Amino acid sequence: MLKSKIYFLKLKNNFLPLLFLVFTLCLLIFSNSNLPAVKNALTLFANNVVPSLLPFFIATQMLMHTNIIDILGKLLNHIMKPLFNVRGEGAFAFIMGIISGYPVGAKIAVNLRKDNICSKEECERLLSFTNNSGPLFIIGTVGITMFCNTMIGILLFIAHLISSICVGIIFRFWKSKNNKKSKNNKIDNNLDYINNHAKNNYSSYKTVNISNLGEVITESITSSISTILMIGGFIVVFSTIISILNASKITQIIVYTLSPIFNFLNIEPSFINGLFTGLFEITNGINQISNIHIKNISLNLVFISFLLGFGGISVMLQVLSITSKTDLSFKPYIIGKLLHGIISAILTYVLIYLIPMFNFNLQ
């Protein structure tokens, strides 16, 4: 019994090294299928993701050097607290998370915690609903590039945005009792000092003029390229993982297992592969689902809407790498993204059948 416990502990401690070793071996064993998968991932990244996101990342980075976000934050100050139970500064994370896409919202929420602008509970609430897919990815990459239809992108973005707000409202009750207890904390007692101190820190970062314009543009480009390369790296890694799962027949086993359920629900079983792929990496998963040609296209959009809201394991690991350096719990993010995906899928279905202009089903 003691030996089995020791063996289990050793296995637990060495799980990740073993996992990385298995991954490395699979790269060699399934190299014939991995190489084309990486090439396809890079093509998808270069042709769809970079043109849609990189210019926008640069623009939003330059915007962060101005006082526009501060002004928007002040305008939304009286909305954030009653709606999301987060102070007005949290509007910055929400606005930028919606505009810029993954993983900007999470980065800003973590920065708000590091600078003591928002409490631990408030930043955990922000994590649950501010890290979202951006309009350029949803409308540009998914709607225009994959479906060749702008209205599809607009439909998905509307559902995505409303669902994000719904999740934020639900999570306003996250650890709300702790907030009442923390009213006597130093952070709350010295709120004016903290806000003024934070504004002074941000002002030096945001201020832009003719003399430092070149520096601001250079910094914005450098930061944006770094972010876009990280996204591309995750796409390549998870495309390789998906390729290994396909080559090892694991994906086929899952499709075979779930096919009877999908047939019973009168849903094309070919969606299983795209959904399974999307749970790991949304760009590849959404691309697969968009290539499934059926008359009832609302099914494609509902599944894609879920994946856009959920974000996939790839995005989760990006966020985890950011939050791991803080005291923020990762639990609200996982629950929030799951809720986001479910609400978004339901809302997409409702909008398709309630609003004629969004009904793309073939007769």
DSSP string computed for 73-103: HHHTHHHHHHHHS--TTHHHHHHHHHHH-TT
| Displacement of CA 88 from its chain's centroid (Å) | 22
For residue 44, the model assigns a pLDDT of: 79
CA distance 156 to 235: 22
- Answer positive or negative: Cα dihedral of 297, 299, 305, 307: negative
The first and second tokens of residue 179, run together, are 């907030």
Which stretches in the chain have pLDDT values below 50?
183-205
For residue 181, the model assigns a pLDDT of: 52
For residue 307, the model assigns a pLDDT of: 96
For residue 171, the model assigns a pLDDT of: 92
3-state helix/strand/coil string of 209-231: CHHHHHHHHHHHHHHHHHHHHHH
Exposed/middle/buried for residue 119 (C-beta within 10 Å: 0-12, 13-18, 19+): buried
The first and second tokens of residue 152, run together, are 């599809």
Q: Residue ranges per domain, the chain?
A: 31-358
Predicted structure pTM score: 0.80
For residue 204, the model assigns a pLDDT of: 41
For residue 362, the model assigns a pLDDT of: 55
What is the CB neighbour count within 10 angstroms for residue 17? 9
CA distance 269 to 288: 13
Closest CA to 273 of 262, 45, 265, 337: 262
- Could you read off the pLDDT of 58-112 as tens digits, one per residue? 887 787 777 776 777 778 888 888 899 988 888 888 988 888 788 888 888 888 8
For residue 117, the model assigns a pLDDT of: 78
CA distance 99 to 270: 33
For residue 179, the model assigns a pLDDT of: 55
